[in-house]
Amino acid sequence: MHLDEFIWKLLMETGYYYYAGAMPGGRQRQANLSLLLDRAGQYQQTSMQGLFNFIKFIDRLKKSSNDVGTASLLGENENVVRIMSIHKSKGLEFP
């Protein structure tokens, strides 16, 4: 089982993902957990393996200038530009 799958299973089976979502700032907390899963996926692409080495990997990220930080939350009404790609529409019109 890949590390990101293991962490996701752990979050789901313990209910921690939903617990974090029910706390104050829950959306941000869940986004941070998703960021952790992304980091686990990045870690899987390296030659290092295992949970212990992943924890060391995250610790090094925290200590370096590439701080893990927090995930960014953007809502539907944020003042941002959204770039979309439309392909294989096969005659369907974009709304």
**What's the pLDDT at 15?**
94
Q: Beta-carbon neighbour count of residue 11 at 10 Å?
A: 19
For all residues of the chain together, what is the average pLDDT?
79
pLDDT of residue 56: 87
More confident residue, 9 or 60: 9
Q: How confident is the model at residue 41 (pLDDT cuts 50, 70, 90)?
A: confident
Tokens, residue 19 = 């617990």
Query: pLDDT digits over 77-91, tens only?
Result: 666 665 666 555 555
User: Cα(38)–Cα(28) distance, rounded to whole angstroms?
Assistant: 15
